[in-house]
Amino acid sequence: MTQYIIRKILVAFPTLLIISVLIFAVLALAPGDPLAQFALNPAIPASTRNRIREQFGLDKPWYIRYYKWASSMTQGEWGYSFSSKSPVINIVMQRIPQTLQVVGISYLIAILIAIPIGVISAVKQYTLFDQVATFMSFIGGSLPSFFTGLSFMLIFAIHFHWFPIVYSTTLKITDFVTLKQAINQMVLPVLVLVVQQTASLTRFMRSSMLDNLPLDYVRTARAKGLNDWAVITRHVVVNSIIPVITLVALGIPGIFAGAIITENLFRVNGLGQLLVTSIQSSDTPVVMALSFIFSILVVIFNVIADIMYGIFDPRVKYN
Amino acid sequence: MAANLADTTANDIAELANKKPRTLWGDAWRRFKRHRLAMFGSIVMIVITVGVLIGPYVWTVNREELDFTAIMSQPVANHPFGTDDLGRDQFARALYGGRISLSVGFAAMVIAVSIGTLIGAISGYLGGYVDEVLTFITNLFLSLPTLPLLLLTVYLFRNDVTAKLGLEFGMFVIVVVMVGVLAWMQTARIVRAQFITLKQKEFVEAAICLGVKRSDIMFRHILPNAVSPIIVAATLEIGNAILSESTLSFLGIGFPPDTPTWGRLVTDGSQFLQTTAHLALIPAALIFITVLSINFMGDGLRDALDPRSRL
């Protein structure tokens, strides 16, 4: 098992490498001269501009620039933000916990809700419960996150005043009251993602269950006298969950996209909000770093899903 | 007596011959009609499409006219969707925004499905190393963080492309190309699976024996047989592309601020959520209804064209 996990982690590195080349290529291919604004400044002659270009290594071929970029990325030297002048890595590191909280909690809740609903839906196929659940999951899957977000804001924050509209970034958890506040302000951003993720996971779980229910091993389990509960939970669910894990992994880019929207809507100071504000203020070093961070996070979550797959599916060969 | 019998048989045969045969697409249409939600979705989509196409000719209020007598108006007869903080008619703006949403969705789908079909066909038909490389690329694209990359590329290319092609059309090109380029993977997987099964069928063997060119076998013999799942994927892709575009506009990165895309209307309206919530909720609901209807249609098409699958 340990070997399997290590191998999965090792396989992730080439993927990251290729993604980093891709992102770098997009950046290198992008039109526009980074020194364009100096060209307009009469105080900076062309010779100075060329010297700056040499100093930053912009005259070197792309593979040397990639090597330099990649080696300083791995050493944590991500440059300085244009707008706040502080090191990019510090800004990013401050933001990571909020995003992971929102994404992690909502994915966990979504899985905990979706799997039982999917299971019941499939076992009681075509009953009222199934029809309502299927219909709801269809609607949930088509809801744009900003629509759910705005509606929740309107209903739960503006109308009922149950939760704050805007996330307070200065809140520090010191006692029970602030802890409750901290939880309260997480509810709405998390709920938006829960709706989005639960919908698709329920559908996957239901259809995976439906694929397994008519199989021979289920009949065998019934024939040897197991009761329904044991057949479903110990046999069918365990087998049905395996393909769902792959789909959970495939949904990871989607949940980060959802996080970008919900963070912007509720002003959660996470990576998604930082990305949008940096794009709006043309803060290239931060935008570059964030695109890479998002890729790393997606790859890490994929590795976790792979490991889960190994745990749930005993047929996976460990060596 | 005997002549009579021969007559009736002849009549029956004539009647049968005159009867239109049941075709594959006729059967599919019959199954599609039975799917009530899909029919509902189709009707809604027809209404929305016709609405945004001819709407601006019927509803002749200028979408850029500032009506200072009616600022932040509630929905009333002469402003069915209300007006914004500058007194612009939201209905006229929404009609225009719908054109953008639908055309972005359709154009991005065409790009995504073309790339996906090409890669899936080559990968499935040729197999071997080519398949391995293309499958690796497909999986790599599946693990890319789509929205951040979409934001990044729009950010990097917007100035140059919009300078060349004009603000709105330039943005349209960037958004459509990028959404399409980041969304072909699902189609590629489906087409690949189809090609792997179909290439072993007798009609392909026959074509090979006749010396048909490889590209003709792939695209003129196999592809028409794989068209049903592609249609389903394409339909769902339109919905996804519309969602991607409106997300970009919602985040304020995409079409220029005064272009009233649905996503932009939602962002602008969300500032006034406490007083005039309909400014944000109506365009958001339009996006939702459009995507929902498209998804219903996709579901119905799947039932109609591919009765075996259950997802």
Q: Give the per-residue pLDDT at B184.
A: 92
pLDDT value at A315 more than 80: no
Q: Give the per-residue pLDDT at B119.
A: 93
Strand partners, A192: none
Q: Give the per-residue pLDDT at A181.
A: 80
Q: Per-residue pLDDT averaged across A261-275, rounded?
A: 87
In chain A, the percentage of residues whose pLDDT exceeds 90 is: 4
Chain B residues touching residue A122 (CB < 8 angstroms): none
Residues in chain A: 319
Chain B residues touching residue A265 (CB < 8 angstroms): 270
Q: What secondary structure does DSSP assign to A158-190, as a single string?
A: IIS--S-SS--SS----SHHHHHHHHHHHHHHH
Q: Per-residue pLDDT averaged across A153-179, rounded?
A: 78
**Is residue A108 less than 8 Å (CB to CB) from chain B?**
no
Q: How far apart are CA B241 and CA B186, in angstroms?
A: 13
- Report phi then psi at B177, rounded to 5: -65, -45
Q: Per-residue pLDDT averaged across B142-161, rounded?
A: 82
From A15, A203, A211, residue closest to B143, measured CB to CB: A15
Structural contact between residues A27 and A77, judged by C-beta atoms closer than 8 angstroms: no
Highest mean pLDDT among B19-28, B51-60, B106-115, B156-165: B106-115
Q: Per-residue pLDDT averaged across B75-96, rounded?
A: 74
What sign does the CA torsion over A64, A67, A71, A74 have? Answer: positive
Interchain contact, B247 vs A257, CB within 8 Å: yes
- The whole-angstrom distance between residue B256's C-alpha and the CA centroid of its chain comes to 23
State the smallest CA–CA distance between residue B127 and chain A in angstroms: 22
User: Which residue of chain A has the CA closest to B280?
Assistant: A150
Interchain contact, B266 vs A154, CB within 8 Å: no
Q: Per-residue pLDDT averaged across B185-197, rounded?
A: 89
User: Which residue of chain A has the CA closest to B150?
Assistant: A291
Quote the tokens at residue A4. Answer: 């399997």
Complex prediction ipTM: 0.81
Strand partners, B89: B83
Tell which residue, B251, B259, B252, B219, has the closest CA to residue B88. B259
pLDDT tens digits, one per residue of A184-233: 888 888 988 898 889 888 988 988 888 888 888 888 988 988 888 888 88
Chain A residues touching residue B156 (CB < 8 angstroms): 26-27, 30-32
Interchain contact, B246 vs A144, CB within 8 Å: yes
pLDDT tens digits, one per residue of B194-244: 888 888 888 888 888 998 888 888 888 888 888 888 888 888 899 889 988
What is the greatest pairwise CA distance in chain B?
90
- The whole-angstrom distance between residue A266's C-alpha and the CA centroid of its chain comes to 17
Q: Give the per-residue pLDDT at A318.
A: 55
Chain A residues touching residue B276 (CB < 8 angstroms): none
B→A contacts (Cβ < 8 Å), by residue, are: 37, 140, 142-149, 151-153, 155-157, 159-160, 239, 243, 246-247, 250-253, 263, 266, 270, 273-274, 277, 280-281, 284-285, 287-288, 291-292, 295-296, 299, 310-311
Q: How confident is the model at residue B122 (pLDDT cuts 50, 70, 90)?
A: very high
Lowest mean pLDDT among A52-56, A309-313, B178-182: A52-56
Q: How confident is the model at residue B118 (pLDDT cuts 50, 70, 90)?
A: very high
Q: How many CB pairs under 8 A join A and B?
A: 137
State the smallest CA–CA distance between residue A174 and chain B in angstroms: 32
Q: How far apart are CA A31 and CA A8, in angstroms?
A: 37
Q: Chain A, 151-210: which have a CB under 8 Å from a chain B CB?
A: 151, 153-154, 158, 203-204, 207, 210
pLDDT value at A36 more than 70: no
From A146, A250, A291, residue closest to B148, measured CB to CB: A291
Strand partners, B76: B79
pLDDT value at B107 more than 90: yes
Quote the tokens at residue A16. Answer: 């990251």
Mean model confidence pLDDT for chain A: 82
Q: How far apart are CA B88 and CA B79, in angstroms?
A: 9
Tell which residue, B286, B277, B221, has the closest CA to residue B91. B286
Chain A residues touching residue B148 (CB < 8 angstroms): 256-257, 260, 275, 290-291, 294-295
Q: How confident is the model at residue B311 (pLDDT cuts 50, 70, 90)?
A: very low
Question: Coil, strand or helix: which one is A87?
Answer: strand
pLDDT tens digits, one per residue of B30-62: 888 787 888 888 888 898 888 888 877 877 777
Interchain contact, B144 vs A31, CB within 8 Å: no
From A22, A275, A298, residue closest to B151, measured CB to CB: A275
pLDDT value at B310 more than 50: no
Q: How far apart are CA B200 and CA B203, in angstroms?
A: 9
Q: Give the per-residue pLDDT at B134.
A: 92
pLDDT tens digits, one per residue of A68-105: 878 887 887 887 877 778 888 888 888 888 888 888 88
Structural contact between residues B247 and B263, judged by C-beta atoms closer than 8 angstroms: yes
Q: Per-residue pLDDT averaged across B94-118, rounded?
A: 91
Q: How confident is the model at residue B267 (pLDDT cuts 50, 70, 90)?
A: confident
More confident residue, A173 or A13: A13
Give B84-90 contacts, CB < 8 A, sequence gap 24+.
Answer: B84/B268, B84/B269, B84/B279, B85/B272, B88/B63, B88/B64, B89/B61, B89/B62, B89/B63, B89/B65, B90/B265, B90/B279, B90/B282, B90/B283
Q: Per-residue pLDDT averaged across A33-52, rounded?
A: 71
Tell which residue, B224, B262, B219, has the closest CA to residue B96. B262
Mean model confidence pLDDT for chain B: 83
In chain B, the percentage of residues whose pLDDT exceeds 90 is: 12
Question: What's at B5, amino acid-wise?
Answer: L
Q: How far apart are CA B104 and CA B241, in angstroms?
A: 7
Q: Chain A, 212-271: which have a CB under 8 Å from a chain B CB?
A: 250, 252-254, 256-257, 260-261, 264-265
Interchain contact, B270 vs A250, CB within 8 Å: no
pLDDT tens digits, one per residue of A111-159: 899 999 999 998 888 889 888 998 888 888 888 888 888 888 888 888 8
Q: Give the per-residue pLDDT at A139.
A: 86
Q: Per-residue pLDDT averaged across B11-19, rounded?
A: 76
Q: Give the per-residue pLDDT at B17.
A: 76
Interchain contact, B291 vs A146, CB within 8 Å: no
Q: Please, what is the angle between helix B185-198 and helix B90-126, to 10°?
A: 40
CA-angle at A25, arms to A80 and B155, nearest 5°: 60
User: Which residue of chain B has the CA closest to A264?
Assistant: B251
Q: How far apart are CA A248 and CA A246, in angstroms?
A: 5
Chain B residues touching residue A19 (CB < 8 angstroms): 140, 143-144
Mutate which: B265, B288, B292, B310, vs A, most A CBs within 10 A: B288
From B148, B149, B287, residue closest to A147, measured CB to CB: B287
CA-angle at A244, arms to B288 and A135, nearest 5°: 35
Q: Give the per-residue pLDDT at B229.
A: 85
Q: Give the per-residue pLDDT at A188.
A: 87
Contacts (Cβ under 8 Å, ≥6 apart) of A115? A201, A205, A237, A241, A244
